[in-house]
Amino acid sequence: MAGAHTLRETERHVDERLAGMDIDFQAMAVTSNLFRAASAVRNHLERSVLAAHDLSWSAFVVLWVVWIWENIETREIAAEAGFSKATLTGVLNTLEKRGYSTRKRSKDDGRLVIVSMTAKGRKLMEQLFPLFNQQEQFVASALNSKAQPIVADGLRKITELTEPGQEN
């Protein structure tokens, strides 16, 4: 975006439309900038790192979680990754088809499914994650070293406040 209208132009229109309303502009700036930034960063990471390996965003997130935890129940993956278990089923099918991860039934509880990585998947992440973090570093370079922890911490607080009791 930043597209056809300048920031100043947009601001003028917004102020006009909201005149007389009791609006918290500071709060509005926080949330709208949040969504713009998240979308821009996600696109950037998809193009600069994931596209070359034909990985979707969710596929990468699942790979990451499984990589970190080695053996992990699917319900935990869904919780950590932040999407529904229905979605997870599809992503895991794809990853399994490509030979990055495997599923096995839990011996302790027949309802559960445990996911783990293949050697191929591990190799992929060992190659991919440094590139990913390099781009994360580029993203964070928009902030000076004093602002970085304030932003990171602020976002964590926002998450904690707005995240529901959580279920899938």
Partner DNA sequence: TTTAGATTGTTCGTATCCAAACAATCTAGG
Partner DNA sequence: CCTAGATTGTTTGGATACGAACAATCTAAA
Considering only residues 85 through 124, tell me which ones interact with DNA, judged by CB under 7 A: 85-94, 103, 109-113
**Separation between Cα atoms, residue 140 and residue 7, nearest integer Å:** 23
Which residue do the tokens 């965003």 mark?
A: 57
DSSP conformation class of 53: G
Position 78 contacts DNA (CB under 7 A): yes
Position 98 contacts a copy of itself (CB under 8 A): no
Residue nearer to DNA on the CB measure, 66 or 88 = 88
Q: How much is the CA Rg of the chain, to the nearest whole Å?
A: 20
Position 93 contacts a copy of itself (CB under 8 A): no
Position 51 contacts a copy of itself (CB under 8 A): no
Residues counted in the chain: 168
Burial (0-12, 13-18, 19+ Cβ within 10 Å), 19: exposed
Position 126 contacts DNA (CB under 7 A): no
Q: How far is the CB of 3 from a copy of itself (least distance, A)?
A: 3
Q: Binding residues for DNA, per CB under 7 A?
A: 56-59, 73-75, 78, 83-94, 103, 109-113, 168
